[in-house]
Structure 1
């Protein structure tokens, strides 16, 4: 049967090789894990030591069309970090710390070396952030995907005490807004990125752009930042009133998700460093204020709402970590829950 399957374009042996290689690099990561990689499903045992009134928080996401650039440039070594970050940062925004992660990779054909690079990065990032890589799936689907194309999706589960969950009811008028810097574009808006840079303006991957170190493609493929280690002590000490992961929809759509309906966020866009890649996209794409802040993170990966009486403790715990005080929460005036101060269409 395997020979017939191979004639249909599916290489079972290559897929098995990938799994075996990954097994060799995985030790028992966590005492809660039951079984080993390669079973039909991953198992994670809970125990009484894991908080009172525990709540499991789950999320899934993908890397989007950023994978097209990674594939075309043959630079897939960091794309696994994007996958984990997009899932795990969502958990953090709910107040949960990640327990385990599973990946799903679908492609036209198994290329063991390429897959090995991607999965090894996933394993390394999980280990660096105290997350169990519980399992995953690699699906070879010729005919569904064009030759050389692939897609990545992920699924993460986190844990929080019920009383530690972040929800809009926690946020109050007068709360201070802190912005945590993004590492770059992260993994959103890449359909527009590709249109602006490579269709409308005919940039090349190897181009050098003023203000951007290295080749343009390396800037575009800079991996998404994870905020696990930074936010963990703040969540454990209940110092965050609300959090917004600035993903698809930018500041304009994501910040309101952490606010009650009667409050707004006043954000001064001059308070953080605007990275050159965003200036390039805004100028070449002739993007309006709404377009840019509804598509890209514009330099912020996470926004936190902090009660004023806890601000000193928060900033002390952040220490040398880079952050910006970007505004405050106030009573809603009008219909828009995000007020951008200092931004005008050119």
Structure 2
């Protein structure tokens, strides 16, 4: 072990980290060769497992530069579980991968505390993961994160594009800022083109840049899943890379368009400033950022009031943002309304 440590890998530090995560997650089974999850299938007539995997992208570089790692694990979980939710499935368990140049106990614990927090928000269970110390792969202080989740749904209750019809109402759930997308552009505008500091606070923004940019992605599972179970949701778009245009387009059948009235919700101040500072076009904004909507739900007009009331009761900020109309699989957002 001494020879391995001299080569840059501290196995004992890894063992200690596993013990810490066992305590944080209340799962003594962590550290086994495989994660286990008891699967109760009695309530499902035709059970289907739905899986998802994702990372956090270059938002990690902001966390590393700021030295703030407590929420980036929430982002990781959110990117995975919100995708599974968008299929109509309940996230069951989660695994993480942390690749790191040098295993700093404090830093790693902060990162994985966020993962545990996110898993708890999703009502799921952390069943395992991997921490790989690779000094020749990552420079000191740098790391990468990836996550994997599995959910379950009844086959007949999976959300399908074929269930959508003209007249369906689009409801938008407010995002918590940028979430985890567009950060290569964000960093280019703020730090390469204009040389802002992470301690700067942009006019109109409540927080300095390091805290504004690191707002964790919202996890919508506990708010939205009960509505799916009640059959009140027809389809869901999780607004990630590609913004509203690409992600809402993914749920549309060939004969429908989605029309958005962008005066019906508030775009976060950080996005407005990025548009101004970076001189971004309307197309840049709609194809890159969530514009303040982390998730878009399609519901029947008759169910709109009940769905909005239950979402607000669950703590969500929800807007009626548009509707589905006869068309050709296009997402239309009026430019003059932003």
Q: Is TM more than 0.5 here? A: yes
Give 1:344 shift: 7.4
Give 1:38 shift: 0.8
Give 1:317 shift: 1.8
Which residue does the alignment assign to 1:25?
24
Are 1:289 and 1:343, in contact at CA under 8 Å, matched by a contact in 2? no
Which residue does the alignment assign to 2:175?
182
Does structure 1 residue 87 correspond to structure 2 residue 77? no
What TM-score does the superposition give when structure 2 sets the normalisation length?
0.96
What is the CA deviation profile of residues 230-286 of structure 1, one whole-angstrom value per residue up to 9, with x for unaligned ones?
Answer: 102111101111100000000010001111011110001111011110011111111
Which residue does the alignment assign to 1:327?
322
Which residue does the alignment assign to 2:117?
124
Does structure 1 residue 101 correspond to structure 2 residue 94? yes
Alignment of 1:44-55 (within 5 A): 44-55=37-48
Are 1:183 and 1:223, in contact at CA under 8 Å, matched by a contact in 2? yes
- Equivalents in 2 of 1:315, 1:122: separation in Å? 29
Structure 1: any 5+ residue segments left out of the alignment?
Answer: 29-34
Structure 2: any 5+ residue segments left out of the alignment?
Answer: none
- Equivalents in 2 of 1:26, 1:63: separation in Å? 21
The alignment yields a C-alpha RMSD, in angstroms, of: 1.5
Alignment of 1:163-174 (within 5 A): 163-174=156-167
Alignment of 1:36-51 (within 5 A): 36-51=29-44
Which residue does the alignment assign to 1:12?
11
Which residue does the alignment assign to 2:226?
233
Tell me, what secondary structure is at the counterpart of 1:234? helix
Does structure 1 residue 144 correspond to structure 2 residue 137? yes
Give 1:49 shift: 2.4
- Equivalents in 1 of 2:125, 2:325: separation in Å? 40
Paired residue for 1:298, among 291, 300, 311?
291
- Equivalents in 2 of 1:26, 1:284: separation in Å? 42
Give 1:125 shift: 2.5
Are 1:100 and 1:157, in contact at CA under 8 Å, matched by a contact in 2? yes
Deviation beyond 3 Å, 4+ runs, structure 1? 342-345
What is the CA deviation profile of residues 79-108 of structure 1, one whole-angstrom value per residue up to 9, with x for unaligned ones?
Answer: 010000000100111001110000000011
The alignment of Structure 1 onto Structure 2 pairs a total of residues equal to 336
Which residue does the alignment assign to 1:32?
none
- Equivalents in 2 of 1:145, 1:178: separation in Å? 42
Are 1:268 and 1:342, in contact at CA under 8 Å, matched by a contact in 2? no
What TM-score does the superposition give when structure 1 sets the normalisation length?
0.94
